[in-house]
Structure 1
Amino acid sequence: MSLFFNQEEKLINGCKANERQAQEGLYKRFHAEMLRLCFRYLKSDELAGEALNAAFLKVFQHIGEFDLKKGELGAWVRTITVRTCIDLGRKEAKFYEIKGYKDTDDIFIIPAVLDKLFAEDMLKLIRVLPEATQLVFNLAVIDGYSHKEIGEQLGISESTSRWHLSEAKKQLRQMLSSAEQSIDKPTENKEAK
């Protein structure tokens, strides 16, 4: 048995025994990663913070059900956090039913633009999307859910899910094109005037 496995098992057992130090250790271990996840899924910082707190509350309430031999703790915490974000996002987002939508639009983004962007920049762009569109984009593109799975989780049709994904791609492409234009523009030298 590895040292990491032993440490994680000790942390889990401490949380099961409701030990404050173990709970704090688990929180510190996953806080930053789960907060980034919440920021990616939810529009406002306040909602992201609310989701993070609700997710950790669920983790601590259900830690007794977790079995380290059946899965990895980080994946379990992440699943709870994603589901919490989906629940909160569903309450905030307004979905309108789109019937029979077929995605035929191929999205092309010039690679030079992507090379100049950082993950943080992409997160900012994703957060500009409308709530429903942002939620579907995250589930489909980043987390790899199918439109059927997204529809089941959000209570929408597959067609509506496809429309929101297409809309997200279209809006992101427009934002990236604007970013490309601002990157390619030469800056004026104020001293030369």
Structure 2
Amino acid sequence: MAELTHFDVASIDEMDPSIADGYRVIYDREVPFELRLHEANAPQQVGTLEAVKAKVLVLGDEHSLQSIRVELSSEADLFFHYMHVIDEAGFLAIQEQQKLMVEFADYPNVLIRMLNNCIKEPHSHLAVFVMKQDVDARLDFIQNMEYKFVELMSCHFIRSPEEIVQHQITFRYNAVKTRLNMMQGRLEDVNNLVKLKNPSLLLQLQKSTTSWGGR
């Protein structure tokens, strides 16, 4: 039996550089985003709809929350990586500016609820990500009220430094490679078992695989 078959899948996640500094992941899903490029002195244009992986992380527990970080990445573009990092002092400024009716401790749950709404009700709840030509970007959560669009909340993002992007790409590459090795090891185990118990069935399976591969 291949050694990697026994590899604990959870240990792959433990290699995630996002949690290397003490943060823990509380949300990790693909969310439909409208991606827009903002150019100075140019009219705002409709963006492209893409699936963006949104990861919400927290530092500290619910009774002593120290910091919140939201990471955005994309399977379509490995070099797409943005972060929104905020502590309580930074949140208070946003709370006053945007007239938010939630406290810092509730902010992660509010973010998660809005992201989930964009997944469940994409026609009425929109996530618009506006990227500027520099490192800055903005995520607007917008609700379509039929007669008008209402901006619910806005979050400031920055493009991640090249070093962080490289660490993330390395992690994703190694994670995929490890899972592939695990599946190949598992396939080898199944082949050996079927070969032992029913060799003719194995031949049928191999022929079937070859015929599918030739299509």
TM-score of the superposed pair, with normalisation by structure 1: 0.29
TM-score of the superposed pair, with normalisation by structure 2: 0.27
- Higher share in helix: 1
- Higher share in strand: 2
